[in-house]
Structures are given as structure tokens and as C-alpha cells.
Amino acid sequence: MHLKIRDLHIVLILFIALNSYSQDKFNIQGGKDSYTLSFKLMSNLIIIPIEVNGTVLNFLLDTGVDNSLLLNLELKDSLNLKNAEQIRLRGLGEGEYLEAVKSRNNTLKLGKIFNNKHMVYAIYSKEFDLSSRLGIDVNGIIGGDLFRDFIVEVNYSSKRIKFSNPDTYNYKKCKRCEGFDLHFYKNKPYIYATVDVGKEIPVKLLIDSGGSDALWLFDQSSIDISVPENHFNDYLGRGLSGNIYGKRSKIKKISLGNYTLTDANVAYPNFNSIEDAYIHKGRNGSIGSEILKRFLIIYDYPNKKLTIKRPSKYYKEPFLYNMSGMELAYNGSKLVKERQTALLDTEGSNSNNHATVQLLYSYIYALKPSYRIVDLREDSPAALAGLLKGDILIKINGNAIYNYKLQDIIYLFSSKEGKKIKLLVERNGKELLYEFRLKKML
């Protein structure tokens, strides 16, 4: 999955054998038929709080993964993982297998939703770091394990998810609804859509709510799918097994039933980055959350159905991409000296008995976020200006970088062609100023 802060990407497609246990099931406390949970939407991605063995963590809700993952093994002791055993995993990316821990019989709680016998995989590697790419702490990923036990309604407009008991759920009549069959391969959901690549063709796509791109297509997965001439090479994200690179372009349109989106972003990942994904010969790519967020969606894994209920408030947003060529990540916190102002009323202190006000200043030190460049597209505006991987951002257009959220910075880089960007960065203990203008590649 390509997680982007608009263009910050993280690819999360795993091929892990499913170990099912009848006791490993999510339920709603009190036998209720449904439960609604609020979520944070970060870079198009759904982040929800989950309590694991008494410790509250942030999880990415990802239909592109089957089992539940923990991504910070430093938490292992405080989480008190049960029945742990060492294993090796492999995911997308140009790297090797990862050392991990498989643990059964853990207690997970999402508000009033609970599971006392849940199996999780805890990953050793610190290279796959969702927190730095999103700018907030994210300690895990949950997907198919949760979707299998409920009918899940995702409302991106209100940022709420409703989990319902499949045995008591009733579909309401809906004139604007579009229904689709879900097809499963290795317990992951796929849907058929239509794309226009010079001509309209049907494609089978993984539904990847953990991927913040709009659309991925696999080059040569169909006789009609190939990388168009109008494209540029780019870093697509970080998979469990390493970096993912490929080519970016635009597609004329993608249609989901009667809903059609035009001029959508599309990425063509390099084969050596996603070789394992080609195991499924019928797959043509993935549909990510840049498209999914444009609808209110009902996932019905038990009945193998997906329903688009209506467009969300994001439906008419343009498809943007990062025109700077820089990929940024959270670089930890730094102490920043801040001035605070207080007013002192000194009424009656002068000879005319007039009120006077004195400004008093004090200073405090606060921890503020910092960001660094982790990847740089060749011949991009930022690269041609002289910026380098590893540079730490200090100011952007004269404003302190810690006043921005990471996704706000990337949105700025995606906003308007020709916009002037001035960056003050720290490199080897020195402050350097660079300037460039955003430039469209497509």
C-alpha cells in the first residue's frame, strides 16, 4: 500500500497464511446489534484506537491485510503478548524476510467491541514505520480479522464506522446505492471495476483501504494494460520488505457501477517491488483510499457483498500529487523556545492616576515536531534546487516548520503549479536556504 500524506505512501499487502480458531472472534458487548466508533482520517487513511492487553494503541484499518499486526516490538513487554513464537514474514518491497513474533490469545477492545482470543503478529523491523510517515503514533494494522465478523459501514464524511451483527442486519432500500460482488483470494477482498486506458476494460482490483493512492495497475497483467508514454518515475512507498518504486500517470476514468471518476491518479509499481502480488494471476491492481474515501461504503464480508451507498463530501475533490518531488517523514521532537506574553494592570501607579498596562514576557521550552527528507525524486524541482535526502526542514516560506502537520505540508506541495516554495533546512549542523517552484509532471 502506498501511504501518502497526500503523496505519502505505505504499501501494506501481506501474504500470510490464515490461522483460524473458532474462539478468535470479535463480538459486541451486551449482545448489541451494532456499535459505532469514531476514527481519525490521516492522509486518506483510517486510524482507530484499540486496546491490546490493556494498552491503548492506534491501528490502521486496512482491508489489504488479513491478520492483525503490531509494528513496535519495543512495546512487547508492556503488551504482555501471549503464547509468543518466532516466525518470519515477507511483504511487498525490495527487501528480505522479516523477523516477527506470532502471539495467540490476546485481548483486543475497540470501545464495546472485544475479542479475548485474538492472534497478532509483532514485527521486529523498525524500517517499516507508519508513525514517521503519518506524523502520529501508529502501532498496528488490523483488517480482515475485524471485517469478517461484522458488516462494516464506513462514513468518511462524518469519520465514523458502524459495526453491525450480520445475523440481524437489514439492508434499507436505496436509490443511489451500487452493489458489487466481493471476490476473495487468500482472504483478501477484490472487486471488478472498469478503467479507460485508451479503451474501456474490466479490471480485478484488491480493495486496499490501507493504501492512500487512488489506483494501482500492474503493467502487463492484461494485454490492454501498459505504462503510458506520459509518466514519471517515483517512489511509491514503503512495504514491509522494503521500498517500492514505479511510475505515476493519469487515467481517463475509472467506473464503479454508475459512478465515474475522471482524471484519476494511477501508479504502475515495478515488478521487483511487488513480485509476490503477481501470484494472483487474475489481479490487475488495487483500488486505494484516495478513491474509497469519496463514498459511503458498506463492507459485507460474510455475504461477499460491497455497497456504495452514496458519494461522500470528498467526491468532487481533484486528484492531486506531490509536485515538489520530496518524500517527508517525522524526525522526532525538538525543544523550541517560545515567548509568552502577560498583561500587568498598573492602574493608579502614575501621577495622573491613569491606568497603565505593562507587557511582561516569559519564555518556555516546548517539544515540537520536526521533519526530514527521506526520498527525493530525480530531476524534481526540489532535487534540481539542491535539496538532499536527510535534510531537516526548519522553515517553509518563512514559517517555522513545527507549526505544520506533516499532511498539511504535503498538501501544500500538491496545491498549485508554479507556487514558490522557500525551504530553510539543516544539513550537517548548517542552515541552508533553497527555493523552487512546484511543477506538474503530467
pLDDT digit string, tens, across residues 305-349: 999 999 999 999 999 999 999 999 888 766 666 665 555 555 554
Residue 103 lies in a domain: yes
Q: What is the CATH number of the domain that holds 229?
A: 2.40.70.10
Same domain, 60 and 131: yes
pLDDT attached to residue 231 = 94
How many folded domains does the chain comprise? 3
Same domain, 152 and 244: no
Q: Is the pLDDT of residue 12 over 60?
A: no
Same domain, 222 and 144: no
Residue 201 lies in a domain: yes
Average pLDDT over residues 82-90: 71
For the record, the C-alpha cell of 113 comes out as 467491541
Same domain, 136 and 91: yes
Residue 352 lies in a domain: no
Same domain, 201 and 303: yes
Max Cα-Cα span within the chain: 92
pLDDT attached to residue 96 = 59
Residue 6 lies in a domain: no
Dist. CA 226–CA 328, nearest whole Å: 29
Q: 180-201: buried (b, 16+ CB within 10 Å) or exposed (e) per residue? A: bebeeeebbbbbebebebeeee
pLDDT attached to residue 100 = 79
- Domain end residue (candidates: 164, 192, 211): 164
Q: Is the pLDDT of residue 112 over 80?
A: yes
pLDDT in tens, 349-370: 454 555 565 655 556 666 678 8
Q: Which residues contact 388 (CB under 8 A, 6 or more apart)?
A: 373, 376, 427
Residue 19 lies in a domain: no
Q: Tell me if residue 81 falls in helix, strand or coil.
A: coil
Q: What is the mean pLDDT of the chain?
A: 84
pLDDT attached to residue 128 = 66
Dist. CA 63–CA 273, nearest whole Å: 20
pLDDT attached to residue 186 = 87
Region of poorest pLDDT, from 89-98, 101-110, 112-121, 429-438: 89-98
Residue 317 lies in a domain: no
Same domain, 50 and 158: yes
Dist. CA 67–CA 72, nearest whole Å: 16
**Which structural domain range is residue 122 located in?**
27-164
Residue 13 lies in a domain: no
Dist. CA 235–CA 378, nearest whole Å: 10
Same domain, 270 and 209: yes
Same domain, 145 and 218: no
pTM value is 0.85
Q: What is the CATH number of the domain that holds 413?
A: 2.30.42.10
Residues paired with residue 184 on neighbouring β-strands, in sequence order = 189
Q: Is the pLDDT of residue 3 over 90?
A: no
